[in-house]
Structure 1
Amino acid sequence: MRITVIEHEADAGLGFLAGWLSEAGAVCEVVRPYLGEAVPERITGGLIVLGGEAAAWEDERCPWLPATRDLIRVCVERGVPTLGICLGAQLMALACGGAVGRGEHGLEVGVTEVVPLPAAGTDRLFAGLGPSLAVQYHRDAITELPPGAVPLATGDPYPNQAYRLGENAWAVQFHPEATPEIFVDWTAGSAETLTGLGHSVEELNTRVKESRNDLVGAWRPLAERFAGVVIAVQTA
């Protein structure tokens, strides 16, 4: 059971997902286009597109983004199990007819509450999820969902926290993969900016560390269920 992973930068890897997916039987093949590796035109198995600092439309900054959007669109159309995370969720929105822009409320960072919507109750990944803590780190936002998208979770101040396209494609604005260690790396790299925006880096880091068990409890099942979808599609 093979999952292709598009990683946009070295400090935004699979994190928690690496262990959860491996234990569920998945073999992840990580493609690193920032190191010159080519984004495939077609894949089998499953696809995960991770987060990154770039905006979903910054093709000059990250020349592989058009190929990534094309791959996402093809996977959605073909029913390949797909999961977009943060930037990956925004790329899916653009690839499939939605809209993404600078978030009008500015940077969302740290631990926030994500609230499931009614459609989550019968969704294969989100069923049974209650209001849950999630790690956030984004300044852009999905302002319009793609046609046919099913909203699955919301939050404050950015409502489009999770959605599904078709039967086998999901997108989450938050970071289910982010371990406390990864989050500390992110805040260390932008400490001056965060402080300038009025955030306490120490408080942000402490809150994520204290929430570790809640984060694992909420999002490990999502990863395991996504692995199950990949298995089901491959063996159908």
Structure 2
Amino acid sequence: MTTFDTTSDARGVVRMTVVQSSPDVTLDTWAELLDLDLRVVRAYDGDPLPALHEVGDGLVVLGGHMSAYDDARAPWLPALRDLLLAAATTGLPTLGICLGAQLLAVAGGGRVEVAAPPGIEVGATRVFWRGEAADDPVLGALAGGDAPVERVASAHGDAVVDLPPGAVWLASSNMYPYQAFRLGSALGVQFHPEASWASLAGWCDRYDDVDTAAVLAAYDAHAAEIADGGRRLAESFATEVRGAVARGAVSA
């Protein structure tokens, strides 16, 4: 685990922690798109989770192959849920992706259904933005303007079925209602804005009941839009982190 001084320095370096729960669910395309000083905490490999004051200027919690309740399999999850809730309620710019979004929902008092019907949502997903999304400080980059992003990359079998009290519902899909939501300063997205074609292919191969070739063909038909949405979200989140630093918005 890379360590760093957790406050922005006089040169304007903005620092962010990324928590990774599975070895094959990485920052992927975002490793280059997030133009910040990144520390990756590989929790699956025994890296200890930071305390809130050690996180830096922003927090990203990636996906993973366990459920949001799988504390026996992934013993760092209780502390990660606590960290997410603390970040969301103290003004720290935070993004939870897939499992990260589910952990955020549970931490805030919502509910996730494991192996939820109607089943696995994987590949190029049509997303429907709610009116609140256009005004979101991060997600507005995808939902607002004259060319909103309509397709995102998904790969999940569990799903948020109840939002936390006070959360703002931002997006849905045809299969699942809660594709995006905001809780305080934390944004949760069920989809994978960071995922590359290769990562999606690897995740598909983990499922016996997923036709990998068909999923990838559908993804290819929307690859440019999916990549554009991922870039927009990465840049928008990085801008939000820098803006919070400039405003002195975080209150630890």
TM-score with structure 1 setting the length: 0.92
- Residue equivalent to 1:110: 123
Aligned-residue identity in percent? 39
The whole-number CA distance in structure 1 between the counterparts of 2:139 and 2:93 is: 15
5+ long unaligned stretches in structure 1: none
Deviation at 1:131, TM superposition (A): 5.0
1:98: which partner in 2? 110
Q: Is the 8 A contact 1:82 1:169 kept in 2?
A: yes
> Which residue type is aligned with residue 162 of structure 1?
A
| Displacement after TM superposition at 1:207 (Å) | 2.2
**Matched letter for residue 36 of structure 1:** G
Q: Please give the per-residue CA displacement for 1:64-98, whole angstroms capped at 9, x wherever unaligned.
A: 10110011011111110000000000000011111
CA shift at 1:211, angstroms? 2.5
CA–CA separation in structure 2 for the residues paired with 1:132 and 1:105: 21
Q: How many residues align?
A: 226
Displacement of 1:235 after TM fit?
Answer: 2.1
- Corresponding residue for residue 144 of structure 1: 162
Contact 2:149 2:229 in 1 (8 A): no
Aligned to 2:27: 14
Structure 1 residue aligned with 2:57: 45
Query: Structure 2 length normalisation: TM-score?
Result: 0.86
| 1:135 aligned residue | 153
Specify which structure has the higher proportion of helix: 1
State how 1:25-64 maps to structure 2 within 5 Å.
26-42=36-52, 43-64=55-76
CA RMSD of aligned residues (A): 1.3
C-alpha displacement of 1:17: 1.4
Which of 85, 99, 119 aligns to 2:132? It is: 119
How far apart are the structure 2 equivalents of 1:205 and 1:99?
Answer: 30
Distance in 2 between residues matched to 1:126 and 1:32, nearest whole Å: 26
- Whether the aligned pair in 1 keeps the contact of 2:132 and 2:170 (CA below 8 Å) is yes
Q: Aligned partners of 2:32, 2:222: CA distance in 1, in Å?
A: 18
Aligned pairs for 1:63-82 within 5 A: 63-82=75-94
The C-alpha deviation readout for 1:95-149, integer Å capped at 9, x for no partner, is 1111111212111111110111000121112225235111111111101111111
Measured after TM superposition, the shift of residue 212 of structure 1 is 2.1
Tell me the equivalent position of 1:207: 218
For 1:206 and 1:3, locate their aligned partners in 2 and report how far apart those are by CA, in whole Å.
35
Q: Distance in 2 between matches of 1:105 and 1:131?
A: 24
4+ residue runs over 3 A deviation: none
Distance 1:146 1:139 in 2: 20
